[in-house]
Structure 1
Amino acid sequence: MKKIILILPFFLLLHSVFGQQINYTSGNNGWDPDVLGNHRFIINVSTQALVKNKNVSHVIIPWRRKDTNPEAKALVVIDAKTNKKITNVTLQNSNRELGELLFEPVSGAGNYYVYYLLYRNEGSANYPKGVYLKSVETASADWLKQVSSSKTYAEAQMTEYQSVDDFNSFYPMDFIATVKEKATFLSNEASSGFVVIPEDRMFSIRMKHDLPMKWMNKPIPSSFTGEANKGEYYAYQLGVYALQNLKNVKVIFSKLTAVSGETIPVSRIACINTDGTTYDDKPFKKIVDVIKDDVQPLWCGIDVPQDVKAGDYIGQATVTADGQKSRTIQINLKITDKLAADGGISEPWKQTRLKWLNSSLAQENTVIAPYIPLEVDKNTISLLGRKMELNEDGFPKQIQTFFTPEMTSIGTKANDLLIEPAHFKFLDSSGKECQKWKISGVKFLKKDAGTVAWESSSTSDAVQMDVNAALEFDGFLSYTVKITALEDVVFSDINFHLPMQPTAAKYLMGLGQKGGNRPENLQWKWDVANKNQDGAWIGNVNAGLQFSLRDEKYSRPLNTNFYLQKPLLLPTSWGNDNKGGINVSQKGKAVLVNAYSGSRGMKKGEVLYYNFTLLITPFHAIDTDFQWETRFYHSYNAIDSIKATGATVANIHHATPINPYINYPFIEHVKMKTFIDEAHSKGLKVKIYNTVRELSNKAYETFAMRSLGHEIYSPGKGGGFSWLQEHIGDDYLAAWFVPEIKDAAIVNSGMSRWHNYYVEGMNWLTKEVGIDGIYLDDVAFDRITMKRIKRVLTQNGHPGIIDLHSANQYNKSDGFNNSANLYMEHFPYLNRLWFGEYFDYEKSNPDFFLTEVSGIPYGLMGEMLQDGGNPWRGMIYGMTNRMPWSDNADPRPIWKVWDDFGMKGTEMIGYWSENCPVKTSNDKVLATVYKKNGTALIAIASWADTDVKVKLNIDWKKLGIDPAKATITAPAITNFQPSQTFFVTDEVAVTKGKGWLLIVKE
């Protein structure tokens, strides 16, 4: 890949203060920034100057700093000859424009280094807090007396600015203009509301509160000139400097016209700050306001047609603001004869990929395998393994699944989820239902293969309830329920009932409950400030529902340590000033989910939205063969080394040579492709780490996206690694940091056009680099983006394997959510779970394993992470740990048992199934059977409090083995179990927290 120089080394600039020439260069990592900071000036003391004073040298450093209070911050002077610190240093005068420095030139004539912005990292290695050192007087009293008594000093010259490397440089866009320069620059603009300074795409406008030095010493330009290839997306900037508070800033473009009459139409020109396409394929319009004395970059793009004629094109970009005189910039664009076949995508440092922000790629809701097209028969909608019948009011009358208890196939027996239809209830002051409805009936609005949509309206004397809903092919059901008051009315409650069959409500996860057996009586109240909870999953292994309560203002909160920075919005309807809540309890024959909102009045014409979503689980049958055959190696290593372990898929994390920067896997794509090509040639697949949650500061588009306000980057208190503080400045959330490569991430804001970029990026990586899928490490996007990702990853026969890791979200920072509940909307498109860090496999009960870790109730399988997991308990659910992530466990001995036994083609019959042919005499020692062709592998694991002995209660008929001929053996498995043979009638000794793998055959 072409090396990108982010500054211009050894560029000479005539400095306006002294007229001296200053070099702006890279220090090529010649010093330790954690000791001396990222920046220094080189000061030269001449022999001639020392004639005047050999003990005190004087220099004025025009450092042009954008940080505040520089006089309070430490600096260090180092003798270039000895590389030793000089203690006799004093700063006589300091402001943001310059620093007046006196120091002792201890080595006489030569160079001295002045380091500034010195910091120390506090906090953890991966979440550092760069704290800038305060100024401390180090000079001796005797030397200070010499300073005060001297009439002349050895005048030194500041000759060079250096940053520790190119990436840390302030040149050219982070050096501020002086007050005098700014006044001269704006001298003719006293009556103007704003000025516009066009800027090249290679020099991102970075500072919000200062004008850059680069713009000074020349008139305010009225034109901009650029050069683009045919087919290229050409980006440039219009820097708006506000002389007054500005409202509704936007850009009006003209077409670009050549002398020949050839044109580039306005439809191919846009400003990403004000216009575009949202992540869910809606028109994006944003009002841009600019505070007085602030700078707002407007990033504009010209999508040059491939078939345009070469030549010089001229047009206009007119910037307007409400109540202000507009400013017009003439745009001169030279189109070369060269064709950029990929739109310039292969040169992202030119900001060509900003086009991706407005992409609609893969938005069509086409059916994704293994799902099947939806079918509608009267009011019944059928989908893969499930069926839903609608009531006349538009709500579910019945929901059924057809998955077998083992979850390995779809059967013919219906599993009813509801005892009676789901419904709303409006209660009067006495608690009685007070509305008699006139119902319009269901009207279908769409009957596509991927989506069926309908509406229904119910009207009473007091209120009207309009229902708009849609079911998608994966089992996602969304409801918009609009309640309109037709007269002034008071309710003691408006609630929604899900009356569920007890057999379909065995387990519950959410609403402050860790996954496991459903409690007899759950009472929950809203607490959005502290808890990321708005619903739950309730169900059994082969039939369940996840529900989530929302209103029309729902906004996805932040997750993974950042929930408290952007929590849920309390729904006006369901929350009702914290009067609302959810009760789950047995009511007669039903397990009733009662979502109530409490007493309220509504004025005539007032509207409330009682929106909610449902997910019908499981999503599909379990693909057990994928589990046995697909073995992830989760580390970067030589291909031959990975293959030798028996792994079949390499997961390449970030902070590795071919994928160094978190969630921005584009910079080393050539190395990545070379690695993938070799892996493919040797029969391995390769997946890469890439998600949306936080983003590397190495992203080429960092400052363009920063110009979008809080659309892509979350607001926050700033801080973190020094680069972020020195270049981003303020108003962001610092995230994961990799010390070895100085990769500092910034938290994404949530749902934004960055998801469009993400989809396009995954499409490009699939087609151009050859990735076989992605490893997701928590995610901050919704199911719309997940579907798009799955489509581009599986295009043209690509495998599109996706596995998801989550650290346990049930903690204060994450809002006490359950990882499986949080990410369930993504489960239809995953191939495996890896749950995960901070999951306690030793203290957790089997039902927690089943519902929160294994993935089985949703049609998935998983792996364990924390401390290597518990291999005996893991095998109850078909799980191992992942190689070579844990030093405490190696899955290869178990993989060998799988291979020797021949796990492919087995039928997994878990302890949760009524059909499991093996149980033990102790209900805390569980057994799962993997059965095939007259043989079976029995996994036994104990949750008993002590070592126990158990007898195996075997239904030989179900097992398909003649007990008279049966042998039971335990193969030797390293770090798991010794070799042993058992008789059918033997007791099996089971160590606390452990178990066995037994092979039964005739």
Structure 2
Amino acid sequence: MKKQLLAFAFLLPGVAAFAQKIPYTNCKNCWVVDSLGNHRVVLTFNGTGKAAKAVIPWRRRDTDPENKRIIIQDAKTKQKITNIKLGTINRESGELVFEPTSGKGTYYVYYMPYKNEGRSNYPKGVYLKPENLASETWLNGLGANIPAASVKEFQSIDAFNSFYPMEVIATKSETDALTGKHKGEKFMLFPEDRLNSIRMTKDLPQRWIERGPQNKYAATAQRGENFSFQLGVYALQNLDDIKITFSDLKTASGKTIPASAIFCINTGGTAYDGSPLNKTVNVAAGDIQALWCGVDVPANAVPAIYNGKASISINGKPAKEIQLAITVNKTLAKNGGVDEPWKMTRLGWLNSTMAQKNTVIAPYTPLQVKNNTIDLLGRKVEVNADGFPKQIQTFFTPEMTEVTSEPNNLLTEALHFHFIKPDGKNIKLKSQGLQFTKQEPGTVQWKAISANDSLLMEVSASLEFDGFMAYTVKIKALQDISFKDITMHIPFKRNVAKYMMGLGQKGGYRPENFEWKWDVAHKNQDGAWIGNVNAGLQYSLRDEKYVRPLNTNFYLQKPLILPSSWGNGDKGGIKVIDDGKAVLANNYSGERKLSKGDELYYNFTLLITPFHTINTDFQWATRFYHSYRPIDTIKKAGATVINIHHATAINPNINYPFIAWKSMKAYDDSAHAAGLKVKIYNTIRELSNHAYETFALRSLGHEIYSSGKGGGFSWLQEHVGDDYIAAWFVPEIKDAAIINSGMNRWHNYYVEGMNWLTQNVGIDGIYLDDVAFDRVTMKRVKRVLTKDGHPGIIDLHSANQYNKSDGFNNSANLYMEHFPYLNRLWFGEYFDYEKNNPDFFLTEVSGVPFGLMGEMLQGGGNKWRGMVYGMTNRMPWSDGADPRPIWRAWDDFGMKGTKMIGYWVDDNPVKTDHEKVLATVYKKDGAAMVSIASWEDTDTEIQLKIDWKKLGIDPAKATITAPEIRTFQPAKTFGLNDKIPVEKAKGWLLIIR
């Protein structure tokens, strides 16, 4: 060892040999971070005089240390030293002279102090600029021979903030010396342990200089373990299309771990939708690329040393081999080791296909095909010869409580395309027939071709068990051809097209005539929902390279792709026209020319609503408590389901509920023993920086994390560096999230994680705070949450998405594809429950037209208006918004088993004589609870108009009473013909018996 140190010192004189001996330690909570930063150097001074000089070999990874303030503190007095003179400050070292105010002793140098600006949950960490506070007298008194202060250690505020060992950079001279030894090579390989994630992409770690590049890697794994390791590639030239292949791993006796059990997440895998994923990895000269590899060691592997090799090719040509020696010991890993994720045992989850098969999820029923008609739960689709819907029907009653045999036809005629020539004439295509290509319980697929001598239209479509239809429509020019327009017409029946939501329209009554133009740069708008409570259709117009955009504050950073077909530059758009007989959604694309052989894709999706009947009994019996509190407190409040948010003791890290899982399990077990259920906050939009796999995911480029301008909380700037979007931050626990890129393999991990939490921790469902994944992942999540009889309750919260940052979309329209798998809505912050009309409540907030029910949030909601839709707010809130008095009224009346008949039902048995005072009936044998709410501008009086026969109550014996409900209404009795006073924006809950 002594010779090695001497050789090292000879090669890299001075600083390098000195720095090697300096320890890196953690001093948890030893100083106030927000004023001094996360890092300091401990100096020891044993000299005399008014000045001390230090040369600090800090080997920093940040790019501009000369522009960051240095604060020196006297350890004895804890006072800041103002007499400081800085010399050369760079990434490798820093020179400084300071006044040792206590003489001999210890002094602290804080070298990355910062302050947080902006919103507390979206901070902007700003590093303090250098300052010059030294007095002229002290500066003028500095001599030539200043005694030295020695560097004792480097300290971080805790282990999580430490730069050691993977972020301590090699110096330029060290790097040059190493690369000089390997001239002519394309790259060097540095195998690395799974516990030391490769973090830097521009600097070699000092650790690699000391060890040098390797062509061998040896490690120890357990039987059955999902073992991971890294190969660091340092490019000496530009490297294109790096690939890695593995041989079998074999023992001396011939036992084998097959090459198929070894993988590299960087070069390929399985996409979120189950399709194969091939990745191209390019590395620029001077950059570092981590290749994260895994070995799924068989549980029955014989303990021994397994030898093999990894072969790395560049642009299809062999480049280097590295010998692998994996010692499998006798220990059998529990559950593949995934219970210990800090060992990177879950990387294989990125390629999971769990729950990918499109099996039918309750309450949906298997699809049935008869002739050209497909039956699904409460709905039917008849397919025309050209592949488009000839008719779409729903069979839900207006009350949304039953499925009947009476159809609600959505269309006046078949959905169809028009290909219009410049002279205004329509080009007619002849169908070559319809062919069903797949008929499974969960999916039916078909295709059709229509053509003439100038144009070919190929239609490929599918319908899934929840009512989602996807269309790929390819138009091919068989000769040069010009169009005045290419349009798709969806002709709605007028009684169905009562409401509209999307395309810039707030949910509510459909405007009589409406026109919209594409603006993807600013607006997350590509379609709309048009419908009534018991029949409707959402449609979206898609580019053939459609990618789900970011949402929730980040739409503008990854917006929609303008479809080259539908958009056609600025020529495309949508008109919704009511001609008195039908409501036509005219989706036009404008004039264009196609040359022979040109192809366009007019893709679109349809979603048939509602998805199922309303489960009102679930609404009355399932009462959420949205806070982490003692079990006894929650049970006493009358709640039945606990939602555990992130930033709590048992779920501290946003969207990464795997760190405190043992505490979570203990809490869940206690709740279950008390008869309560527990759900956790867990979604995908952003990911905590405490995720063990953070840097493995970063090694995938922008597959998992979005590209962005960086910044945000100090930890992100200091360790992630740049090119990311900083997201939600929790100041109390310093949990800083990074925005996910959208649809990617993290969804596979997410599904596996939800399964693990359900099976091992006992969660009863999830609380979604907006959604950054599509329906493919939602279905998979619902499957694993409900497996083995688990309840799998999912509720969705959304802040109002109709704003600039979110691209002016409606929350209900944006997330409608997820509604088939939700149990409740909670919309949400920035929803106005006071100034919006009933049609807005019905379409955007209540969930009723989709077979759901909801709750209110902003300001506690309007409790009187909410009850017209069966909604309260959620515990715990202020006394004025406390839902418990209404819960108690439900229980006293006996809401279970009642039939909800909303004001929107034409033959509702109880109405009022005021158009803006609405009544919803909750009916059972011999009694009814009637919810009345006013949208009048002033206080008023109303009279009830009751159809006693439909209500099933004898008026001669009937009474109307208002039970006392704290903060809602006083007790009162009304005569059958009495005028009932109704305050502005309030109402009553009346019991008729």
Which residue of structure 1 lines up, in the alignment, with residue 78 of structure 2? 83
**Whole-Å separation in 2 of the counterparts to 1:691 and 1:887:** 30
| Deviations, residues 632-655 of structure 1 (Å, cap 9, x unaligned) | 000000001100011000010000
Q: 2:627 aligns with which of 612, 615, 635?
A: 635
Contact residue 185 and residue 217 of structure 1 kept, 8 A: no
- 1:929 counterpart = 2:921: yes
- 1:482 counterpart = 2:477: no
Which residue of structure 1 lines up, in the alignment, with residue 695 of structure 2? 703
- 1:473 counterpart = 2:465: yes
**Whole-Å separation in 1 of the counterparts to 2:429 and 2:642:** 59
Matches within 5 A, 1:499-538: 499-538=491-530
Contact residue 565 and residue 600 of structure 2 kept, 8 A: yes
Question: Can you give the 5+ residue segments of structure 1 that lack an aligned partner in the other structure?
Answer: 1-13
Contact residue 582 and residue 596 of structure 1 kept, 8 A: yes
| Deviations, residues 360-413 of structure 1 (Å, cap 9, x unaligned) | 000111100000000111000000000010110010000000000000111121
Which residue of structure 1 lines up, in the alignment, with residue 6 of structure 2? none
Matching residue's letter, 2:37: G
Deviation at 1:321, TM superposition (A): 1.2
- 1:214 counterpart = 2:207: yes
**Whole-Å separation in 2 of the counterparts to 1:394 and 1:877:** 38
Secondary structure of the structure 1 residue equivalent to 2:472: strand
Q: CA RMSD in A?
A: 1.0
| Deviations, residues 628-682 of structure 1 (Å, cap 9, x unaligned) | 0000000000001100011000010000100010000000000000000011111
- 1:99 counterpart = 2:99: no
| Deviations, residues 44-90 of structure 1 (Å, cap 9, x unaligned) | 111xx32xxx1111110011111112112101000000010000111
**Whole-Å separation in 2 of the counterparts to 1:555 and 1:311:** 47
Deviation at 1:21, TM superposition (A): 2.6
Matches within 5 A, 1:899-938: 899-938=891-930
Deviation at 1:341, TM superposition (A): 3.2
**Whole-Å separation in 2 of the counterparts to 1:509 and 1:44:** 69
Which residue of structure 2 lines up, in the alignment, with residue 32 of structure 1? 32
Which residue of structure 2 lines up, in the alignment, with residue 44 of structure 1? 44
Which residue of structure 2 lines up, in the alignment, with residue 22 of structure 1? 22
Secondary structure of the structure 2 residue equivalent to 1:142: helix
Which residue of structure 2 lines up, in the alignment, with residue 125 of structure 1? 120
**Whole-Å separation in 1 of the counterparts to 2:18 and 2:222:** 42
Matching residue's letter, 2:134: A
Q: 1:200 aligns with which of 184, 193, 204?
A: 193
Q: 1:980 aligns with which of 955, 972, 975?
A: 972
Contact residue 193 and residue 325 of structure 1 kept, 8 A: no
Secondary structure of the structure 1 residue equivalent to 2:889: helix
Matches within 5 A, 1:750-765: 750-765=742-757
**Whole-Å separation in 1 of the counterparts to 2:915 and 2:297:** 70
Which residue of structure 2 lines up, in the alignment, with residue 240 of structure 1? 233
Matches within 5 A, 1:163-178: 163-178=156-171
**TM-score, normalisation: structure 2:** 0.98
Which residue of structure 2 lines up, in the alignment, with residue 69 of structure 1? 64
- Shift in alpha-carbon separation, 1:885–1:243, aligned structure 2, 3 A: farther
Secondary structure of the structure 1 residue equivalent to 2:705: coil
Secondary structure of the structure 1 residue equivalent to 2:286: coil
Kindly report structure 1 stretches of 4+ aligned residues shifted beyond 6 Å. Answer: none
Deviation at 1:885, TM superposition (A): 4.2
Secondary structure of the structure 1 residue equivalent to 2:881: coil
Matches within 5 A, 1:587-666: 587-666=579-658
Question: Can you give the 5+ residue segments of structure 2 that lack an aligned partner in the other structure?
Answer: 1-13
Which residue of structure 2 lines up, in the alignment, with residue 7 of structure 1? none
Q: 2:358 aligns with which of 365, 387, 396?
A: 365
Which residue of structure 2 lines up, in the alignment, with residue 410 of structure 1? 403
Secondary structure of the structure 1 residue equivalent to 2:749: helix
**Whole-Å separation in 2 of the counterparts to 1:776 and 1:888:** 26
Q: 1:331 aligns with which of 318, 324, 336?
A: 324
Contact residue 15 and residue 21 of structure 1 kept, 8 A: no
Which residue of structure 1 lines up, in the alignment, with residue 5 of structure 2? none
Contact residue 623 and residue 639 of structure 2 kept, 8 A: yes
**Whole-Å separation in 2 of the counterparts to 1:19 and 1:556:** 49
Q: 2:779 aligns with which of 787, 794, 819?
A: 787
| Deviations, residues 258-317 of structure 1 (Å, cap 9, x unaligned) | 111111111011110011100000111000011111111010111111111110111111
**Whole-Å separation in 2 of the counterparts to 1:66 and 1:292:** 18
Matches within 5 A, 1:444-455: 444-455=436-447
Which residue of structure 2 lines up, in the alignment, with residue 580 of structure 1? 572
Q: 1:354 aligns with which of 344, 347, 352?
A: 347
| Deviations, residues 154-211 of structure 1 (Å, cap 9, x unaligned) | 1111110000111000111111100111122222211111111111100000011111
Which residue of structure 2 lines up, in the alignment, with residue 492 of structure 1? 484
- 1:274 counterpart = 2:263: no
Q: Which moved more, 1:311-320 or 1:99-108?
A: 311-320
- 1:890 counterpart = 2:890: no
| Deviations, residues 796-820 of structure 1 (Å, cap 9, x unaligned) | 1000000000000000000000000
| Deviations, residues 542-597 of structure 1 (Å, cap 9, x unaligned) | 00000000021100000000000000010111011121000001135110001000
Contact residue 190 and residue 212 of structure 2 kept, 8 A: no
Deviation at 1:915, TM superposition (A): 2.0
Which residue of structure 2 lines up, in the alignment, with residue 292 of structure 1? 285
Deviation at 1:17, TM superposition (A): 3.9
Contact residue 490 and residue 584 of structure 2 kept, 8 A: yes
Matched residue count: 980
**Whole-Å separation in 1 of the counterparts to 2:108 and 2:428:** 84
Contact residue 912 and residue 918 of structure 2 kept, 8 A: yes
Deviation at 1:20, TM superposition (A): 6.7
Secondary structure of the structure 1 residue equivalent to 2:943: strand
- 1:59 counterpart = 2:51: no
Which residue of structure 1 lines up, in the alignment, with residue 868 of structure 2? 876
**Whole-Å separation in 1 of the counterparts to 2:746 and 2:491:** 40
Contact residue 307 and residue 325 of structure 2 kept, 8 A: yes
- Shift in alpha-carbon separation, 1:19–1:170, aligned structure 2, 3 A: closer
**Whole-Å separation in 2 of the counterparts to 1:887 and 1:713:** 42
Which residue of structure 1 lines up, in the alignment, with residue 10 of structure 2? none
**Whole-Å separation in 2 of the counterparts to 1:316 and 1:885:** 61
Matching residue's letter, 1:93: T
**Whole-Å separation in 2 of the counterparts to 1:27 and 1:888:** 47
**TM-score, normalisation: structure 1:** 0.97
Which residue of structure 2 lines up, in the alignment, with residue 731 of structure 1? 723
Matching residue's letter, 2:305: D
Contact residue 185 and residue 220 of structure 1 kept, 8 A: no
- Shift in alpha-carbon separation, 1:887–1:599, aligned structure 2, 3 A: farther
- 1:137 counterpart = 2:129: no
**Whole-Å separation in 2 of the counterparts to 1:275 and 1:813:** 34
**Whole-Å separation in 1 of the counterparts to 2:717 and 2:364:** 48
Which residue of structure 2 lines up, in the alignment, with residue 309 of structure 1? 302
Contact residue 195 and residue 327 of structure 1 kept, 8 A: no
Which residue of structure 2 lines up, in the alignment, with residue 425 of structure 1? 418
Contact residue 15 and residue 22 of structure 1 kept, 8 A: no
| Deviations, residues 601-650 of structure 1 (Å, cap 9, x unaligned) | 11111111100000000000000000000000000000011000110000
Which residue of structure 2 lines up, in the alignment, with residue 390 of structure 1? 383
